[in-house]
Amino acid sequence: MKPIAILFLVQLWAFTSNAQRPFTKSSIRAGLDLMTLDAPDAKDVRYQVRYTKHLFKDRLLIGASIGYFQQNSRKNLYQDIYIDGNKRRRITTDLTLLVDLLPSAKYALRLGGGLSSWYRKDNLWVGSSFSIRPGEPGIFDLKTDREGIREWNIGPHFALEYEQAIANRFAISGRVGWADLQRASISYQVGVGISYWLY
């Protein structure tokens, strides 16, 4: 019985020590996305950071990200006179489930989706009225109507990303994304990032 017990203990130790290896890894990704909002002129860079858990030998990923977007426009009222146009802010949070389609340790092609919850803070130009006086430069009696919006928008998102390892614990990636924020309309994203593996 002793040899069997010793063999059992050795196998149990081997199994538990193997289970403690990083089957579940983690990574941090920092990236830049060119992102669009509801209007043709509402596009700019979003800065984003994502923390990701890599499960089942890196074939399934669960990521939580936070980002910031800011876009300001100018309105041409008359000749060379401009005023502030639309001011848009977004604080974006996304929970994403990704599946790796490539069984490779160096390359990854991931497809997935999840839930987005974005905070919207907009100051939108509605219209302006003014008068001009013959022989006098500039405009007079300027009145501007604006609309302020502050709200949370929730909706689904989908993403496709490609990642390639470049050095020990580092990888570069490119991604495209789509999010439907309901009242805040649809957003498209295309971007790049760099990841660092945590163990």
Cα-flanking dihedrals φ and ψ of residue 19, to 5°? -70, -20
CATH number of 148's domain: 2.40.160.20
Tell me the per-residue pLDDT of 75-102, one tens digit each, with 9 for 90 and over. Answer: 888 888 888 889 999 999 999 999 999 9
How large is the average pLDDT for residues 35-60?
A: 90
Alpha-carbon span 49 to 30, nearest angstrom: 5
Tokens for 195?
């990841």
Task: Identify whether the C-beta of residue 190 lies closer than 8 Å to the C-beta of residue 179.
Answer: no
Within a domain: 10: no
Within a domain: 89: yes
Within a domain: 191: yes
Into how many domains does the chain fold? Answer: 1
Least confident of 6-15, 87-96, 101-110: 6-15
Within a domain: 18: no
Q: What pLDDT was estimated at residue 40? A: 67
Task: Identify whether the C-beta of residue 58 lies closer than 8 Å to the C-beta of residue 46.
Answer: no
Within a domain: 41: yes
Within a domain: 12: no
Range of the domain at 70: 23-198
